[in-house]
Amino acid sequence: MPPKQNFYQCLGVPRSASPDEIRRAYFEAARRLHPDKNVAPGETEFFLDVQEAYEVLSNPVKRASYDATLPPDKPTASLVKQNILYSRKSLVNIPEAQLVYVLFEYTPNIEGDAPAAPPLNLCLLLDRSTSMQGENMDMVKATAIQVMRKLRAQDTFSVVIFSDRAEVLIPASRNQELNKLEARIQMLQPSGGTEMFPALDAGYHEVSRNLNRSQVNHLIMLTDGRTYGDEQKCLDLAQKASENGIGISALGIGHEWNDQFLDDLASRTGGSCMYVATSHDIQRVLLEKFNRLGRAFAEDARMTFTLKEGVELRYAFRLQPEAGLLPTQSPISLGPIIRDSSLKVLMEFSSKLESGHSESVILLEGNLAVTIPTSPTPGTPISLVLSRPITDDVTPMPPPPEIMDALSRLTLYRLQDQARLEVTKGDYNRASEHLQQLATHLLAQGERGLARTVLLEAERLHQQQAFSEEGNKVIKYGTRALLMAGDEKVKP
């Protein structure tokens, strides 16, 4: 029997929560745990606890007398360990803006036996447009069937197929009859164009039918094409999905799909966007993704923060478990925390110090909330304060090796990003120069194949003033994969 939670833990709010935050947390918990909606054993009791907690905490008088009975608040949440590294020990007392890098690491705090793997609520969105004809379609079918065979009794699964229309091929349910479903997938014939919004919308509805925070809710889209005209609708839907605890990931096949759009879509929900050059890799990449979903400890780590005056969050990147660019506006969905690994995020801040000398400066204040599927009542969000002392000493100090290591590889990714930006601005010479710089660094690291592709693209930029679709993706996802090299421990 675990020790009884206090009312704050029960609602998943910090001790300093405002009445408004408490009300919101209550509505959220009530929606999730209401007896009419939930049949899982034990959750009705949780709901009664939540009810009781809200009755006390929403009344200022009762809350004050309840607070007096509580032991002093423990500053760190017990579920996830937080480790923060700064690139500099202190900021320098100068009027101009200066940079500081911060590496966040979140590791599951599992004592004794690891909790059981959470159930999945997964929907596959399969592109069946004409361009998928042939090997791609065959491989997608085979992989979807493989995923289906790996499902456990507690997993919910659905499939949506789409071209310019979307159709629910397998409605969301558990314990389905595999033979029938496999036949349905096998019958799939390619036809039509590509429109993503109807597919995402249908997938969202399938997953929503069994939406429940005690499982991993996720959509995975497999596509080789691009959608036209409904991008904004898709992104809005992703935002809604994120707020409801549904992640979206995408697997782009070949060279024609819109990497910028799918990256953006996935990053809004804490999901990931993956690239495969040929049909041979579809199976490996999708199964890896499937395994990662099953190993989730916390489904979504969400950072909510306010920046202090003069501070700007210039760049945010998730290094691990799946490398990907993150948005820079609060709240940020950092993505899942995997049970046998850690979540690592690197952020670049610029800070312009106010005139007048003070001892230290606060960059950011906020918290990190995690949703842990195996523990239905969320823990207290981890409070987060970034601050640095100010000195007059201008001698640069070397950053910790973890930050050096991450930055050395992230710099390469950013070089190609910059080249891409310059191409869209029409500055082909600068873009080509940046690619050449990138190639030199890649050669120095022994990445000969990638370096050759980069040099070919640099040459091509000179002659034809455009990236090739293929080179563009190889470089982007190739330099991104460098970030994962050696970090990602995929267990068979």
Partner 1 sequence: MIVCPNCQHKEMTGAVFCSECGAQLVDMNLATHKIHTAETRREIESGTATISPPPAVLQSWISLHIMESGQILPLADRTEFTLGRVAESQPIVPDVDLTPFNAYANGVSRLHAALKLIKNRIVLVDLGSSNGTYLNGTRLAPYVETPVSHGDVIYLGKLKLQLLIGQQ
* β partners of residue 318: 324, 345
186 vs 429, beta carbon nearer partner 1:
429
Among residues 404, 421, 485, 490, the one that binds partner 1 under rule CB under 8 A: 404
Tokens of 11: 């609602």
As a whole number of angstroms, the distance between CA 302 and CA 306 comes to: 13
Q: Within 79-118, which residues bind partner 1 (CB under 8 A)?
A: 87-88, 91-92, 94, 96-101
- Binding segment for partner 1 (CB under 8 A), chosen from 31-39, 150-158, 252-260, 436-444, is 436-444
User: Cα separation of 379 and 298, whole Å?
Assistant: 11
Interface with partner 1, residue 486, by CB under 8 A? no
Our measurement of the distance from residue 483's CA atom to the centroid of its chain's CA atoms, rounded to an integer in Å, reads 16
Candidates 217, 380, 437, 479; binder of partner 1 (CB under 8 A) is 437
Task: Give 169 or 363: the residue with its C-beta nearer to partner 1.
Answer: 363
Among 30, 85, 142, 443, the residue binding partner 1 under the rule CB under 8 A is: 443
User: How far are the Cα atoms of 138, 161, 201, 379, 471 from residue 254, in angstroms, in the given order?
Assistant: 15, 19, 24, 42, 11
Contact between residue 150 and residue 288 where contact means Cβ atoms under 8 Å apart? no
Q: Is 418 in the site for partner 1 (CB under 8 A)?
A: yes
Residue closer to partner 1 (CB basis): 88 or 295: 88
**Contact range with partner 1 by CB under 8 A, out of 13-21, 243-251, 370-378, 406-414:** 406-414
| Closer CB to partner 1, 90 or 383, in the complex | 90
Sequential DSSP letters for 431-479: HHHHHHHHHHHHHHTT-HHHHHHHHHHHHHHHHHSS--HHHHHHHHHHH
414 contacts partner 1 (rule: CB under 8 A): yes
Quickly count: other Cβ atoms within 10 Å of residue 24's Cβ. Answer: 14
- Per DSSP, helices labelled H in 125-189 are 135-149, 178-186
Q: Give the nearest distance from C-beta 314 to partner 1 in angstroms.
A: 10
Binding residue (CB under 8 A) for partner 1 from 68, 153, 187, 444:
444
Q: Rounded to 10 degrees, what is the CA torsion of 434, 435, 437, 441?
A: 140
Per CB under 8 A, contacts with partner 1 among 5-34 are none
Indicate the residue among 333 and 437 with the shorter CB distance to partner 1.
437
Residues 6+ apart with CB under 8 A from 36: none
Among 292, 378, 356, 281, which residue's Cα sits nearest to residue 117?
292
Cβ proximity to partner 1: between 339 and 414 the closer is 414
- Kindly identify the residues of this chain, within the stretch 320-379, that bind partner 1 according to CB under 8 A: 350
Piece of the chain touching partner 1 by CB under 8 A; list 138-146, 201-209, 247-255, 414-422: 414-422
Rounded Cα gap, residues 355 and 236, in angstroms = 41
Minimum separation from the CB atom of position 427 to partner 1 (A)? 13
For the bound state, the minimum distance from the C-beta of residue 452 to partner 1, rounded and expressed in Å, comes to 12
Q: 197 is written with which tokens?
A: 């919004």
Can you give the binding site for partner 1, defined by CB under 8 A?
87-88, 91-92, 94, 96-101, 350, 396, 398-399, 403-404, 407-408, 411-412, 414-415, 418, 434, 437-438, 440-441, 443-444, 446
